[in-house]
Amino acid sequence: MNARTALEIAARLHELYYGKTGGEAVAMLRKQHAEIDRLTAERDKSIVAAVAAEREACAAVCDDLEATFPGTKTGNTLQWAAEKIRARSSK
Amino acid sequence: MSERTALEIALDLDAASCSSFVKLESAEALRKQHAELGRLAMKNAAYASLTKAQDAELSLHRDRAAAYRAAVKNIDSEREANAILTAERDAAISAAVAAERAAHAAEIDRLKRERHHIYDLLARIHRDGGQYTAENGVEKACEDAESQVTAWLDTISGVDALIEQARIAEREACAVVCDELESLLPGTKTGNMLQWAAAQIRARSAT
């Protein structure tokens, strides 16, 4: 069930049912919707953080290799590769 | 004076030739006295016997009285010993009861603290101030809490899987960056190094 559908159901219930139970059901649907939003945002935040950490670790692989060829064409290319990898975060 | 002598005197008085009223009266008195003496002697013997029997009985009573006094003394001594033992026993029981009460009080405190923690945990899991547990009881609240925690663990596992997939995808994308750079410099030392970098990045999945 998507958030919009849940809120629509709550709005529809609010229009049709005036009893105490109906009021509670509407409040619960809205509360759960808000909770789902919060948890989804937290999950997305965790995924973004994990991806960023992985990206940095990959860039570090290139940095480590570049450190064995400092000032050479190969070293510069590896440095460029690390920069391109880090630049993925702005995509 | 012996019994025979008194009777002989009486016979002599009877046999005397010049019997007079006084003599006869004396002889009669002597006989009466003799008879009275015999009666009194018998009575005295009977009294002596009775006295002896009474003394024996008295002695028996004295022995019994002594035995009773000894028994009473013994009973008093036992009563005293019992009083001491009873006091000691009562003190021991009081101490044991006090210790038991203290242990019970400590156990009750521990159980109260545990219950408090359980109620707190249930309130946290059910996301209220304890109303759900109050309305449905601890048993149902625990059963529902278990289901809730299982659902959360499943959700967390699902999120972990999503994160892992995202990391694998990002790793592959980073390796592709190196592949693309390597394709610009094929067969060169730099190209080979970029190929090695891509392989090392992909190898991170095994770490």
Range of the domain at A11: 3-90
Residues ≥6 apart with Cβ < 8 Å to B9: B27, B30
Low-confidence ranges of chain B (pLDDT < 50): 1-3
| Measured distance CA(B145)–CA(B125) in Å, rounded | 6
pLDDT of residue B207: 55
Residues of B with a Cβ under 8 Å from any A Cβ are 155, 159, 162-163, 166-167, 169-171, 173-175, 177-178, 181, 185, 189-190, 193-194, 196-197, 200-201, 204
Count of structural domains within chain A: 1
**ipTM higher than threshold 0.85:** no
pLDDT of residue A1: 47
Inspect the interface and report whether the beta carbons of B200 and A65 lie closer than 8 Å.
Answer: yes
Specify the amino acid at residue A28.
M
Find out whether B130 and B145 touch, Cβ atoms under 8 Å.
no
| Token code pair at residue B206 | 């095994």
Inspect the interface and report whether the beta carbons of B163 and A58 lie closer than 8 Å.
Answer: no
Find out whether B177 and B204 touch, Cβ atoms under 8 Å.
no
Asked if A54 has any chain B CB less than 8 Å from its own CB, the reply is yes
Find out whether B193 and A74 touch, Cβ atoms under 8 Å.
yes
Which residues in chain A are contacts of B197 at CB distance < 8 A? Answer: 61-62, 65, 78, 81
Query: How do the residues of chain B divide into helix, strand and coil, expressed in percent and rounded to 5?
Result: 90, 0, 10
Model pTM?
0.52
Which residues in chain B are contacts of A55 at CB distance < 8 A? Answer: 170, 174
Which residues in chain A are contacts of B181 at CB distance < 8 A? Answer: 77, 80-81, 84
Start-to-end Cα distance in chain B: 151
Inspect the interface and report whether the beta carbons of B193 and A65 lie closer than 8 Å.
Answer: yes
CA B148 to centroid of chain Cα atoms: 48
Distance from CA of A74 to the nearest CA of B (A): 5
| Token code pair at residue B12 | 């002599």
What HEC string does chain A produce?
CCHHHHHHHHHHHHHHCCCHHHHHHHHHHHHHHHHHHHHHHHHHHHHHHHHHHHHHHHHHHHHHHHHHCCCCHHHHHHHHHHHHHHHHHHC
Distance from CA of A58 to the nearest CA of B (A): 6
Measured from the Cβ of residue A76, the count of other Cβ atoms closer than 10 Å reads: 14
Specify the amino acid at residue B158.
G
**Mean pLDDT split into 10-residue runs, chain A, 91 residues:** 64 72 73 83 91 94 91 91 89 61
pLDDT of residue B52: 93
